[in-house]
Structure 1
Amino acid sequence: MVLLPILHVTLLQLTLASFSAAIDPTQGFTQLPISNSNFQVQKPYDVPQNQRYTFIDGVHKFWVYSTDKPFEPSSTTLPRTEIRITGYDYTSGVWQFEGDFYVPSGTSGVSIMQVFGGSSSATTLQLRVYDGSLKAYRDPVVQNNIYDRWFRLNVIHDVGANNVKVYIDGNLNFDGDGRGPGTFYFKFGVYTQNDPSNYMESRWRDIKLFRKQ
């Protein structure tokens, strides 16, 4: 009988601790002005844009099929429908991407967000979906059970420290090395990877960029 109140207090402390772990990753950063003019849509070259991308009521919806063409006739890359953020390419400093994302069940084998650029590979970060888990490339897991729910994503890239941090709903879920120096920019949408589902989709809203001054 004595153990029950103690167990209750312990569970309450753990619950409060989990809530207190969430922070605002944008503190100390300056928000940058962006608009639709900064959003360059890349989609299979042989279909109209509205057959792979819509922007309705503040939500960007991207979808692609594993059998689609690449974004350019001369490209050998896999199918994608992505937004490449223009006007804010960078080679130094500490930069941050923020946005809410939603992935419907069944989408798998696809990158939904990238930090493009690096010396040891084409990208410094890819956040991929595999069977309902969000991963940094193939491993490690950044967030489990992401299907059919909205999440807030913050990605911080410190070029000088060669470091990338990923926050989900204000919690630091990934802290890893970058891929060396380069010219960098952010992308979001769907970009086919290995073992893809036939249909891949992601939705995004409230996209913001920040820089630490």
Structure 2
Amino acid sequence: MPGCKKTSTSTAERKPNDRPIHTEANPTSGWTQTSYTYGIQTPWNLPQSDRYSYSSGEHHFWIYSDDECQFEGCTTGPRSELRMNNDYTSGRHQFEGDVYIVSGSAGTDIMQVFGGATNATAIMLKIHSASGGTIKRYDNETLMTSAYNKWIHVNVQHDADNGKIYVYLNSTLKGTFADRGNATHYFKCGVYNISGSRSETRWKNIKYWKNGPVGQ
């Protein structure tokens, strides 16, 4: 299996092409698993271990509402995130992983495809507190309810050549969305932004795939 290793850490919106599909799938069939490196981004004024840990194959990320962002002087929200070093501008790329969202996490982006022409990101998966934890695309389309305190399998396929993103949760295609324009893209996961007092996710089995069929 291709490996991964940690390296040093260094909005107008297009409407989605709505496809409310609920079909069991194997999102990685026909794709090539690809090795990657990553960095961890946490509040600049705290030791990394105060907001991130890794043990027994699990990455744990947590933030509080009064946390700083990742470098002194930045104006974005608090974050504890894995930043995959897979920068790309074209081709087909896929993120895969299992996430456990701790109850109480709210107003928090748990996974993102960074890079867009009209906004900073192509897509964000965001947890809201309603209905036992609701995962939405930003604050818009509902992708899953009752999402707290269980492992959820996540696949996000990005066809950068055609500007489309396909989101699967537990091997079910939840929607197809426009990617908000060509840019340099990469994958991130963890916790970013917060509307409650504390947000936490745990991620495992994070994989990077390339060059396969999308929307199957």
TM class by shorter-chain length?
Answer: 0.7 to 0.9
Partner of 1:164: helix, strand, or coil?
strand
- 2:41 maps to a residue whose letter is Q
For residues 182 and 142 of structure 2, the distance between their equivalents in structure 1, rounded to whole angstroms, comes to 25
CA distance in 2, matches of 1:104, 1:64: 12
Partner of 2:3: none
How is 1:118-197 mapped onto 2 (pairs within 5 angstroms)?
118-131=116-129, 132-193=133-194, 196-197=195-196
Matching residue's letter, 2:54: F
Question: What is the 5 A alignment of 1:1-213?
Answer: 21-34=23-36, 38-86=37-85, 88-131=86-129, 132-193=133-194, 196-212=195-211
Q: Measure, in 1, the Cα distance between the counterparts of 2:44 and 2:168.
A: 33
Residue 19 of structure 2 corresponds to none
- Structure 1: where are the runs of 5+ without partners? 1-19
Report the equivalent of 1:14.
none
Q: Give the Cα–Cα distance (whole angstroms) in 1 for the partners of residues 210 and 116 of structure 2.
A: 19
AA matched with 1:137: Y
CA shift at 1:52, angstroms?
0.3
Stretches of structure 2 that go unaligned for 5 or more consecutive residues are: 1-21
Q: Distance in 2 between matches of 1:59 and 1:174?
A: 27
Runs of 4+ in 1 over 6 A off after TM superposition: none
State the distance in 2 between where 1:33 and 1:115 align: 18
1:166 Cα deviation (Å)?
A: 0.4
Query: RMSD in angstroms over aligned alpha carbons?
Result: 1.1
SS across alignment from 1:138: coil
Q: Deviation of residue 21 (structure 1)?
A: 2.8
Structure number with higher helix proportion: 1
Q: Distance in 2 between matches of 1:174 and 1:58?
A: 29
Residue type of the partner of 1:103?
I
Return the alpha-carbon distance in structure 1 between the equivalents of residues 211 and 42 of structure 2.
32
Please give the TM-score of this superposition, normalised by the length of structure 2: 0.85
CA distance in structure 1 between the aligned counterparts of 2:196 and 2:174, rounded to whole angstroms: 25
CA shift, 1:28, in A, is: 1.5
Q: Identity of counterpart residues, as a percentage?
A: 39
Q: How many residues align?
A: 188
Deviation of the 1:160 alpha carbon: 1.3
- Which structure has the larger Rg over C-alpha atoms? 1
Instruction: Specify the code of the residue in structure 2 equivalent to 1:104.
Output: V
AA of the residue aligned to 1:167: Y
Q: Normalising to structure 1: TM-score of the pair?
A: 0.86
Partner Cα separation in structure 1 for residue 177 and residue 114 of structure 2: 16
Q: Distance in 2 between matches of 1:112 and 1:142?
A: 13
1:51-89 deviations in Å (ceiling 9; x for gaps): 100001100000001100111002111110001111x20
